[in-house]
Amino acid sequence: MSGAAAGGMARSAPLMGRDTEPTIFELSEPGRRCWQLRTTGVPAWSAEELVPAEHRRTRPVPLAEVSERDLVGHMTRLSHRQFSVDLGAYPLGSCTMKYNPKVCDEVASLPGLADVHPAAPASMTQGWLALLVELEEALCAVTGMAGATFQPAAGAAGELTGLLVMRAYHGANGEERRRVVIPDSAHGTNPASVSLGGYEVTTVPSDDRGCVDMAALRAVLDRDVAGIMLTNPNTLGLFEEGIEEIAGCVHDVGGLLYYDGANLNAILGVVRPGDMGFDIVHLNLHKTFATPHGGGGPGAGPVAVSSQLVDFLPGPRPVRRADGQGYEWLWPARSIGRVHSWHGNALVLARALAYIRVHGADGLLRVAERAVLNANWLRTRLSGTFDVPFDRPCMHEVVLAAATLRRKYGVRALDVAKRLLEEGFHAPTVYFPLVVDEALMIEPTETESLQTLEALAGAFERIAAEASREGGAAAAHAAPRTTPVGRLDEARAARHLVATFDARPSSA
Ligand SMILES: Cc1ncc(COP(=O)(O)O)c(C=O)c1O
């Protein structure tokens, strides 16, 4: 590729040993490119013909100009300084960072899927529509729901969509309910979505078994309550044992049950949210169905609903034609409208269907069984080393705590997490759920082997043992000492955030 031989800074093997990698802007050289446009056959209009003068830029966009060779070198070096699901165990509780099988990427790369424009008419995209309808049927089968939308781009976007559906349903019944109930162990996106959806949050406490306190719940329920948002298993990794009772008393006041499906991998093929009494479910395809998480997107947070709510879903929806002759797009009768351009993050949907097809129903059941087994193995092995706030069988994740380590040796959950990086593992989630002091929330996921679990548990045990020894606390406070970037001052970074890059046009 032209211009690839030399760049603004000498870039060759010696860089590998450096502590710092130059930014892409430091690698920039005017006129250097790593792309060329295909010949399309579309006449080449000039910018003057196409864009009115007042909308045209007067200066070039200040982007880095690099060759493909330098770009790939830069990205590869950066990727070696990262921890990723492809590298090793990533026990980040609540986030379900499980390994994403490569077959799903292969499917999503098929030209017949990847090269289709979302505006192509249904008559030319019957294969895509068939895929979407099959995925919808599969997701309804595992959730016990009647229909779904694929538009939401992540779990939180699904929550907002579900709440808007809830609002539309009550509105259609001539009711303006104002409150949504959420347990105090809920994920932070739940109350945020409730507020965005125009509702007030009513919080109910957990009882001493880590479940919704039934007396407190009953006390806040009345006909002003639009619904309750729950995740089951909840964010403490525990199954809400009173779910049928909860469903009964929320439905009794005319409210709906919203299921935050971020933890669905714990119950796949075992029990369905619909059978527990839920009316609306969002699914995190980028968790349960192993499509990659990517820095806030592109993920997919489809929302599935019971039959009474299908008419309110965003549109258009892919459906089988009534005459049995293929598929078409259909607007639900009382749709809340679009929540995403086009049809959502479509290739994430293709990945999810590939994952479901490869596993089959029995494979999905094994996913759940293995996820729960792995978490309970860790709980049992580590219960003598760390505090176990709720010492009973957990589901796919276990919440431990470093409260005793902090009290005795001044070593906190944050220190344990940072030390774990030195041991070659990603850190667990810390300080969440908020109801647990010094929480360490560990989700091993079903993809890790017994050997990996043993290595992970061994690392946790070494860290705890070291804390009790002379100089051990100091080592924990200094961690991580072996990673490309050491311990950062996170409070300073948050308070003095520098979110801009002083980029000058490279031709200047
Ligand atoms: C329980 C729960 N609910 C909702 C979400 C939000 O999902 P997303 O990050 O896809 O927006 C998460 C994310 O970790 C979660 O763990």
Q: What is the pLDDT of residue 19?
A: 60
- Tell me the C-alpha to C-alpha distance, in Å, between residue 260 and each of 233, 250, 485: 10, 16, 35
Distance from the alpha carbon of residue 321 to the mean position of ligand 1, in angstroms: 34
Mean pLDDT score, 159-164:
98
DSSP H/E element including 455 = helix 450-467
Cα separation, 497 vs 331, whole angstroms: 44
Give residue 501's pLDDT band: very low, low, confident or very high (50, 70, 90).
Answer: low
| pLDDT tens digits, 345-375 | 999 999 999 999 999 999 999 999 999 999 9
Is there an atom of ligand 1 within 6 Å of 284 CB? Answer: yes
- Determine the residue type at 171: G
Give residue 506's pLDDT band: very low, low, confident or very high (50, 70, 90).
Answer: very low
Distance from the alpha carbon of residue 262 to the mean position of ligand 1, in angstroms: 6
Distance from the alpha carbon of residue 80 to the mean position of ligand 1, in angstroms: 27
Cα separation, 301 vs 96, whole angstroms: 14
For a mutational test of ligand 1's pocket, the pick from 187, 236, 396, i.e. the residue with the most ligand atoms closer than 8 A to its C-beta, is 187
The fold adopted by the segment(s) 362-495 is Aspartate Aminotransferase, domain 1 (3.90.1150)
Is there an atom of ligand 1 within 6 Å of 416 CB? Answer: no
Distance from the alpha carbon of residue 302 to the mean position of ligand 1, in angstroms: 13
Q: What is the pLDDT of residue 500?
A: 63
| pLDDT tens digits, 369-427 | 999 999 999 999 999 999 999 999 999 999 999 999 999 999 999 999 999 999 999 99
Q: What is the pLDDT of residue 6?
A: 36
Cα separation, 448 vs 44, whole angstroms: 53
Query: pTM for the whole thing?
Result: 0.89
Give residue 508's pLDDT band: very low, low, confident or very high (50, 70, 90).
Answer: very low
The closest-lying atom of ligand 1 relative to the alpha carbon of residue 286 is: 10
Q: Which of 229, 147, 228, 136 is nearest to 189 (CA)?
A: 229
Cα separation, 261 vs 48, whole angstroms: 50
Q: Which of 191, 164, 192, 201 is nearest to 340 (CA)?
A: 164
Is there an atom of ligand 1 within 6 Å of 187 CB? Answer: yes
Mean pLDDT score, 256-266:
96
Does residue 45 carry a pLDDT above 50?
yes
- Tell me the C-alpha to C-alpha distance, in Å, between residue 163 and each of 158, 174, 265, 414: 9, 17, 23, 34
Helix, coil or strand: residue 105: helix
Which residue is closest in CA terms to ligand 1's atom 8? Answer: 155
DSSP letter assigned to residue 327: E
Which residue is closest in CA terms to ligand 1's atom 7? Answer: 155
The closest-lying atom of ligand 1 relative to the alpha carbon of residue 299 is: 10
Is there an atom of ligand 1 within 6 Å of 448 CB? Answer: no
Q: Which of 30, 336, 401, 391 is nearest to 170 (CA)?
A: 336
Cα separation, 95 vs 70, whole angstroms: 33
Is there an atom of ligand 1 within 6 Å of 28 CB? Answer: no
**Domain extents in the chain:** 13-80, 105-357, 362-495
The domain 105-357: what is its CATH number? 3.40.640.10
The closest-lying atom of ligand 1 relative to the alpha carbon of residue 95 is: 14
- Determine the residue type at 61: V
Rounded to 5°, angle at Cα 81 from 77 and 87:
105
Cα separation, 170 vs 39, whole angstroms: 53
| pLDDT tens digits, 75-132 | 999 888 888 888 999 999 998 998 999 999 999 999 999 999 999 999 999 999 999 9
Does residue 1 carry a pLDDT above 80?
no
Mean pLDDT score, 122-144:
98
Is there an atom of ligand 1 within 6 Å of 301 CB? Answer: yes
Residue-averaged pLDDT of the chain: 91
- Determine the residue type at 361: A
Tell whether omega for the bond before 318 is within 30 degrees of 0, i.e. cis.
no
Cα separation, 490 vs 492, whole angstroms: 5
Distance from the alpha carbon of residue 158 to the mean position of ligand 1, in angstroms: 10
Of the chain, the end-to-end C-alpha distance in Å amounts to: 25
Sign of the alpha-carbon torsion through 114, 115, 118, 123: negative
Is there an atom of ligand 1 within 6 Å of 231 CB? Answer: yes
**What b/e string do you get for 305-334 counting C-beta neighbours within 10 Å, with b at 16 or more?**
bbeebbbbbbbbbbbeeeeeeebbebebeb
Q: Which of 329, 288, 281 is nearest to 305 (CA)?
A: 281
The closest-lying atom of ligand 1 relative to the alpha carbon of residue 186 is: 1
Does residue 4 carry a pLDDT above 50?
no
